[in-house]
């Protein structure tokens, strides 16, 4: 086979119309073989090997004419095998290209995938793994994007919807059965219409980087449903593709992004750069481990056969090594420039800050992101914790980053389940968490607010279960979080008790109203607006079945309509989408009259909240005035932003409470617009200034004072 020298960059397999350039980094290799696979017509792949002829700066490379898209390939790396020194090269193990743009096939779990013989981790196993390995695929990089462009929403105007490709689409009756569970299904008009009517501006997809199904799960008849087990940082997973062709998932993914952009919806990816599917020292040799183990992984300093594990998955990517960092940055740029995604949510982002041992938010990774002209301009969301020492870093990420606000989730859950001494912290969370973000120069939009996410109870289960019920995971109910801050409203699980079910419905409306009307960026977990249940399972990571999928045929349409109403209210009024924190300062009043603060807090009797009121451990009721004249910035046309004013009355008490509307200088009258105690549409009755209005037990009443 004719092989030309080619180029050392770009890494991976790059097709240019005449052939394909291959480039692989390995500092420890003695030589590298490129393995090309072709179908022999009898259902088996035949392998031919080519020695890469050139190496420059530890990059092994070569160009082969006439190698076209669809070609399956892998590598065999010759080099030292000395686990005690962290070296695990073995040319008998076929290796995936770390820069694979597509991957075809699945792991056939057996002894050949491992570098040692079972039962003896210090041994060397030379079984050939090629027949049991998935293969990298050369892709066609060309795609007709047309006039595609990012919708480019400001954070303040965003509503994020976290979803799983399959879980979102698998049971939808309007989607053709042959494409359910795929990227094509996400692009279907039925899904796009649902998202747009809900007011969603960004779809955040759970991991779509190609991932491995764990052998331990497969042995139990389960699967790695969530996908937090990446083995290909550039490759959209073929398990979510309706295309039968190797590499077809790339075109299908791009078509999905294009369709969502046309509908005004951004695409965010949940990315897992903190570890890989190769696991700890007992894991398979599938890619990075056999290519250059010490470059790609954090090893235990005094015994390099073992891996540092800040993720709970067996290994941690070595973000202190330049080529490992380059891999991450190249991957991020690829997804933005070639796949047109609009941002990323970084799983266990604190691990990326562990340049040495401690978490350092000024580590090289964050410096590279800040300096990168492409990656720095998209949405960057951190899950600001990992399982290592000092890993909980909510509020401590750099200024251009936003964060999943775990304190928002915990506080709002505690408030609505009636925990004592939550009122003051609830006020911080409702107004954008200035206590967490203002000191770093950030704004309310740094807070990605959420009540539920993929990890934990769904919203319906949050109000239906006190305990987790994870028996289906076959781990004796020992997996998953035990402290859920949930309340079952009096009965564990499903019930025919109408009063309990009515309370649960109200509590769901309370959570959604609080979430959508808080300052910051709301994130809805897929199906919460439809009453999705997992039957009390708070860890469905291994449940690829009806337990985890949205049950579209049995959706709670009343809850859906309510969520649409509250989302539309948020979208219509910038007072709920402020770009600055409240100051409490007096601003010009209505019609230029007496000045009013930009925010005011009231006890139910209409008096200003005192220190004693805030410190009262039993207090569960509060009203907040949001001044539409107190928005301290100009719009894009240089015009002052002025909005209507609102009064939000929160009552987490178990009995109704009478709230006094503010005096007439705040507004001569108020209109009811949201009442979570009401079933169906809210009666548009008027509440006069100073008038008392009853707010039902465990409910929210939103009053609106239109501009004169």
Q: What's the pLDDT tens digit per position in 149-163? A: 999 999 999 999 999
What is the spatial distance between Cα 382 and Cα 95, in angstroms, rounded to a whole number? Answer: 30
- Residue 658's DSSP bridge partners are 694
- Asked whether residue 378 carries a pLDDT value surpassing 60, the answer given is yes
Q: How many beta carbons lie within 10 A of that of residue 697, not counting itself?
A: 15
pLDDT mean over 423-437: 96
Residue 356 confidence (pLDDT)? 59
122-180 pLDDT per residue, tens: 999 999 999 999 999 999 999 999 999 999 999 999 999 999 999 999 999 999 999 99
pLDDT, tens only, 534-561: 999 999 999 999 999 999 999 999 999 9
* Residue where one domain finishes, among candidates 552, 575, 598: 575
Residues 568, 587 within the same domain: no
In the set 292, 342, 383, 425, the catalytic residue is 383
| The pLDDT of residue 380 | 98
Q: What is the mean pLDDT of residues 335-354?
A: 93
For residue 547, is it within any domain? yes
Q: What are the residues whose beta carbons fall under 8 Å from the beta carbon of 118, sequence distance 6 or more? A: 111
In a domain, 10, yes or no: no
Rounded to whole angstroms, the Cα distance separating 179 from 170 reads 9
Neighbour count for residue 604 (Cβ, 10 Å): 20
Q: Which range among 11-20, 515-524, 634-643 shows the weakest confidence by mean pLDDT?
A: 634-643
Least confident range of 53-57, 80-84, 704-708: 704-708
Mark whether 493 and 456 lie in a shared domain: yes
Residues 569, 631, single domain; the answer is no
Instruction: Give residue 594's pLDDT.
Output: 61
Among the candidates 575, 601, 630, a domain finishes at: 575
3-state secondary structure of 284: coil
CATH of the domain at 662: 2.60.40.1180
Residues 6 or more apart in contact with residue 658 via CB below 8 angstroms: 604, 692, 693, 694, 695
Task: Please check whether residues 488 and 359 belong to one and the same domain.
Answer: yes
Residue of 204, 237, 347, 529 marked active site: 347
Token couple for 452: 């539920």
CATH code where residue 493 lies: 3.20.20.80
List, in sequence order, every beta strand (DSSP E) within 110-205. Answer: 135-137, 160-163, 202-205
Handedness of CA 588, 590, 592, 596 (dihedral sign): negative
Write down the pLDDT at residue 13: 98
Residue scoring higher pLDDT (227 or 594): 227
Of 575, 601, 633, the position where a domain reaches its end is 575
Task: Decide if 632 is inside a domain.
Answer: yes
Strand positions, DSSP E, 149-283:
160-163, 202-205, 209-211, 230-236, 266-271
Q: What is the mean pLDDT of residues 420-448?
A: 95
Please indicate, yes or no, whether residues 414 and 524 belong to a single structural domain of this protein: yes
- Say whether both 268 and 168 belong to one domain: yes
| pLDDT score recorded for residue 708 | 66
CB 180 within 8 A of CB 248: no
- Going by C-beta distance under 8 Å and a sequence separation of 6 or more, which residues neighbour residue 684? 671, 672, 673
- C-alpha distance from residue 258 to each of 105, 153, 154, 188, 237 (Å): 26, 16, 20, 12, 18
In a domain, 506, yes or no: yes
> Does residue 219 share a domain with residue 199?
yes
* 305 pLDDT higher than 60: yes
Give pLDDT, residue 700. 98
At residue 158, φ and ψ (nearest 5 deg) are -95, 145
pLDDT for the residue numbered 93 = 98
Cβ neighbourhood burial of 672 (10 Å; 0-12, 13-18, 19+) = middle
At 34 the three-state DSSP class reads strand
Q: What tens digit of pLDDT does each residue of 465-499 get? A: 999 999 999 999 999 999 999 999 999 999 999 99
Active site residue 383: yes
Q: Is residue 453 part of a domain?
A: yes
10 Å Cβ neighbour count for 400?
13
> Of the ranges 190-199, 225-234, 382-391, which one carries the lowest mean pLDDT score?
382-391
CA atoms within 13 A on the CB side of 607: 7
Do 638 and 525 share a structural domain?
A: no
- Say what the pLDDT of residue 592 is: 45
Asked about 347 being catalytic, the answer comes back as: yes
User: pLDDT value at position 362?
Assistant: 56
Query: Both 234 and 341 in a single domain?
Result: yes
Number of separate domains in the chain: 2
pLDDT at 590: 53
Domain encompassing residue 701: 583-705
pLDDT in the model for residue 588: 65
603 and 563 within one domain? no
- Residue 602 lies inside a defined structural domain of this protein: yes
Q: Compare 320 and 202 and report the one with higher pLDDT.
A: 202
What are the start-end ranges of the E strands in 627-707?
645-651, 657-660, 669-675, 686-688, 692-695, 699-705
My answer on whether 328 and 197 are in the same domain is yes
Same domain flag for 469 and 551: yes
pLDDT in tens, 197-224: 999 999 999 999 999 999 999 999 999 9
Nearest one of 129, 137, 131 to 290, comparing CA atoms: 129
The answer to whether position 70 is within a domain reads no
CA 559 to chain centre: 23
Give the 3-state secondary structure of residue 196. helix
CA atoms within 13 A of residue 42's CA, in its CB half-sphere: 2
User: What is the structure's pLDDT at 422?
Assistant: 86
* Domain contains 232: yes
């Amino acid at each position: 086979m004719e092989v030309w020298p080619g180029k050392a960059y770009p890494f991976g397999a790059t097709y240019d119309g005449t052939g394909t350039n291959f480039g692989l980094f390995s500092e420890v290799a003695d030589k590298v073989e490129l393995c090309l696979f072709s179908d022999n017509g009898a259902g088996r792949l035949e392998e031919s090997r080519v020695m890469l002829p050139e190496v420059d700066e530890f990059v092994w490379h070569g160009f082969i004419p006439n190698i076209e898209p669809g070609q399956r390939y892998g590598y065999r790396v010759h080099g030292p095998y000395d686990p005690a020194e962290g070296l695990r090269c073995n040319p008998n193990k076929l290796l995936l290209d770390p820069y694979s743009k597509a991957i075809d096939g699945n792991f056939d779990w057996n002894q050949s995938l491992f570098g040692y013989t079972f039962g003896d981790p210090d041994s060397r196993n030379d079984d050939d793994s090629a027949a049991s390995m998935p293969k990298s695929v050369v892709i066609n990089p060309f795609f007709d994007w047309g006039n595609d462009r990012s919708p480019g929403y400001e954070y303040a105007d965003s509503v994020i919807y976290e979803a799983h490709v399959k879980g979102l689409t698998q049971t939808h009756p309007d989607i053709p059965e042959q494409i359910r569970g795929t990227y094509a299904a996400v692009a279907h008009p039925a899904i796009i219409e649902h998202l747009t009517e809900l007011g969603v501006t960004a779809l955040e997809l759970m991991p779509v980087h190609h991932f491995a199904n764990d052998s331990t799960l497969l042995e139990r008849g389960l699967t790695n449903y969530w996908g937090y087990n990446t083995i290909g940082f550039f490759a959209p997973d073929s398990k979510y593709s309706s295309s039968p062709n190797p590499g077809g998932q790339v075109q299908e993914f791009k078509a999905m992004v294009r369709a969502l952009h046309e509908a005004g919806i951004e695409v965010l990816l949940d990315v897992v750069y903190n570890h890989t599917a190769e696991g700890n020292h007992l894991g398979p040799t599938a890619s990075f481990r056999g290519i250059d183990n010490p470059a790609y992984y954090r090893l235990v300093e005094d015994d390099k056969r073992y891996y540092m594990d800040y993720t709970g998955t067996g290994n941690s990517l070595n973000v202190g090594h330049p080529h490992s960092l380059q891999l991450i940055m190249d991957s991020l740029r690829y997804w933005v420039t070639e796949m047109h995604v609009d941002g990323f949510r970084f799983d266990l982002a604190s691990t990326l800050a562990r340049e040495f041992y401690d978490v350092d938010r000024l580590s090289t990774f964050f410096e590279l992101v800040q300096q990168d002209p492409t990656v720095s301009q998209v949405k960057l969301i951190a899950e600001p914790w990992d399982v290592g020492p000092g890993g909980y870093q909510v509020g401590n990420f750099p200024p251009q980053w936003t964060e999943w606000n775990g304190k928002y989730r915990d506080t709002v859950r505690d408030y609505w389940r009636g925990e004592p001494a939550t009122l003051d912290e609830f006020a911080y969370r409702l107004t954008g968490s200035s206590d967490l973000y203002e000191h770093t120069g950030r704004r309310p939009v740094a807070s990605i607010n959420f009540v539920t996410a993929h990890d934990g109870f769904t919203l319906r289960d949050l109000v239906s279960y006190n305990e987790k019920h994870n028996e289906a995971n076959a781990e004796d109910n020992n997996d998953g979080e035990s402290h859920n801050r949930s309340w079952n409203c009096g009965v564990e699980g499903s019930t025919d008790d109408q009063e309990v079910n009515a309370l649960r419905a109200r509590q769901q409306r309370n959570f959604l109203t609080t979430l959508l009307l808080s300052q910051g960026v709301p994130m809805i977990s897929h199906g919460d607006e439809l009453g999705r249940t997992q039957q009390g399972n708070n860890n469905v990571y291994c449940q690829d079945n009806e337990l985890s999928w949205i049950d579209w045929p049995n959706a709670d349409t009343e809850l859906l309509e309510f969520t649409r109403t509250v989302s539309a209210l948020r979208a219509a009024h910038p007072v709920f989408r402020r770009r600055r924190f409240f100051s409490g300062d007096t601003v010009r009043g209505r019609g230029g009259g007496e000045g009013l603060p930009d925010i005011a807090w009231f006890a139910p009797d209409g008096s200003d909240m005192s220190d004693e009121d805030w410190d009262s451990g039993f207090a569960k009721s509060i009203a907040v005035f949001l001044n539409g004249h107190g928005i301290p910035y100009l719009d894009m046309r240089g015009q002052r932003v002025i909005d209507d004013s609102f009064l939000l009355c929160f009552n987490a008490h178990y009995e109704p409470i009478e709230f006094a509307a503010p005096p007439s200088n705040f507004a001569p009258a108020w209109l009811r617009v949201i009442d979570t105690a009401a079933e169906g549409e809210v009666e548009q009755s008027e509440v006069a200034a100073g008038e008392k209005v009853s707010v039902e037990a465990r409910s929210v009443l939103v009053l609106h004072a239109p501009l004169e």
